[in-house]
């Protein structure tokens, strides 16, 4: 891919790789080693990746999104064993026997690396917004294309399967899966808190610039503080309170900057006004305020208000569990 060849040859190579690359991939552990060697270890290394390295990275990230591979990485099943010559045949996973703690070391390293790299991208996007906060931005910034397409999806897939495993298996606080979840969220939640604080500062310094606000929405939504955090907080509500309670201090740190950010955005005020108009005692004489459409700027930020309310509900449940005495 990095050779100097005519465009038609390069297009043929890309097409061939997109179809046949999965047959040439090494086993899971070797693929992990290759992934760690390719993923940038610092914010300045994104630009140093060649075109061929970026494509190789995308192929590996895409292959790891297979549910059987995600389960193997998390230690929930044995990795697929090749049958016959070569690695073309992929049998189904062998499920781990119940009652055994999965080995989550491989997943812990991968999730930490993916989160760090997602943070590099977010930091780069913020730097560009802060640099241009006094200008009217149009079009797509160059930083939008610097993140590998499947970085966010793979981390989300790992998180969702980990949370689903904890939910289905009624895990205890001593489970290795819960320990992995706590280690990961103890990194992700402070990172999200920093994103919200940085966003608030940016909006306060460029409140006149509507284009900055729209760009900021895209940056937050694809970061660890966007759709990913919404999935995590909603999932934590489905788990036993004992699983979420050790994260209480991180959640309490998250709420104030998230609330400050929402107060600077157009969605919180109309939503609160709607709630104040709800009919009392079920009187049918009123029109349901929730059915009234919001303005377009407000609609774009409703998800962030929902995130704050869900995080507040989760904090309330944790505090409620702290107030209850131990069962007899």
Long-range contacts of 247-252 (CB under 8 A, 24+ apart): 247/182, 247/185, 247/186, 247/189, 247/318, 248/315, 248/318, 248/319, 248/322, 250/185, 250/186, 250/189, 250/190, 250/193, 251/189, 251/311, 251/314, 251/315, 251/318, 252/315
- Proportion of the chain above pLDDT 90, given as a percent: 35
The reported pLDDT for the residue numbered 91 is 41
CA angle 64, 66, 68 (to 5 degrees): 105
Say if residue 177's pLDDT is above 50: yes
Q: Is pLDDT above 80 for 312?
A: yes
Residues 171-192: what's their mean pLDDT?
A: 91
Higher pLDDT, residue 12 or 2: 12
Q: How far is CA 153 from CA 58, 124, 165, 172, 246, in A?
A: 11, 19, 18, 28, 27
Going by the DSSP 8-state scheme, the letter that residue 289 receives in this structure is G
CA distances from 182 to 158, 207, 236, 244 (A): 14, 36, 11, 8
Whole-structure pTM value: 0.79
CA 162 from centre of chain: 13
> Tokens 């995080």 sit at which residue?
311
What is the per-residue pLDDT for 234?
A: 96
Q: Which pLDDT does position 219 carry in this prediction?
A: 93
Which of 24-33, 35-44, 205-214, 259-268 is modeled with the greatest confidence?
259-268
Per-residue confidence (pLDDT) for residue 263, from 0 to 100: 93
Residue 81 has pLDDT above 70, yes or no: no
Residue 124 Cα distances to 4, 44, 117, 147, angstroms: 30, 9, 11, 10
Lowest mean pLDDT among 26-30, 36-40, 43-47, 147-151: 43-47
Instruction: Find, among 220, 182, 167, 176, the residue nearest to 198 by Cα.
Output: 220
- The least confident of 37-41, 47-51, 138-142, 265-269 is 138-142
The token duo for 155 is 């981390």
Summarize the confidence of residues 86-108 as an average pLDDT: 56
Kindly state the average pLDDT of the residues 27-31.
Answer: 81
């Amino acid at each position: 891919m990095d050779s100097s060849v005519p465009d038609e040859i390069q297009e043929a190579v890309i097409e061939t790789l997109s179809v046949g690359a999965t047959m040439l991939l090494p086993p899971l552990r070797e693929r992990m080693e290759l992934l760690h060697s390719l993923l940038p270890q610092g914010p300045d290394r994104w630009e140093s990746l060649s075109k061929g390295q970026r494509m190789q990275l995308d192929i590996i990230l895409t292959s790891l999104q297979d549910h059987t591979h995600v389960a193997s990485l998390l230690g929930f099943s044995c990795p697929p064993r090749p049958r016959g010559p070569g690695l073309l045949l992929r049998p189904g996973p062998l499920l781990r026997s119940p009652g055994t703690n999965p080995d989550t070391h491989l997943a812990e390293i991968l999730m930490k690396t993916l989160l760090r790299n997602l943070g590099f991208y977010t930091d780069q996007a913020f730097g560009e917004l802060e640099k241009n906060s006094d200008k009217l931005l149009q079009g797509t910034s160059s930083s939008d294309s610097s993140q590998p397409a499947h970085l966010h999806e793979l981390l989300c897939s790992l998180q969702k399967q980990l949370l689903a495993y904890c939910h289905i298996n009624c895990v205890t606080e001593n489970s290795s899966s819960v320990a992995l979840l706590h280690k990961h969220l103890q990194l992700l939640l402070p990172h999200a808190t920093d994103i919200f604080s940085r966003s608030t500062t940016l909006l306060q310094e460029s409140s006149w610039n509507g284009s900055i606000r729209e760009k900021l929405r895209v940056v937050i939504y694809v970061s660890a503080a966007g759709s990913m955090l919404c999935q995590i907080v909603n999932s934590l509500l489905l788990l036993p309170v004992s699983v979420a309670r050790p994260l209480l201090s991180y959640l309490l740190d998250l709420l104030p900057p998230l609330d400050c950010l929402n107060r600077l955005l157009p969605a919180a005020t109309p939503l609160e006004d709607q709630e104040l108009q709800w009919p009392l005692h079920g009187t049918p004489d009123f029109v349901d305020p929730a059915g009234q459409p919001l303005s377009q700027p407000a609609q774009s930020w409703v998800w962030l208000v929902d995130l704050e309310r869900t995080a507040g509900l989760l904090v309330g449940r944790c505090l409620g569990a702290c107030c209850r005495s131990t069962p007899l």
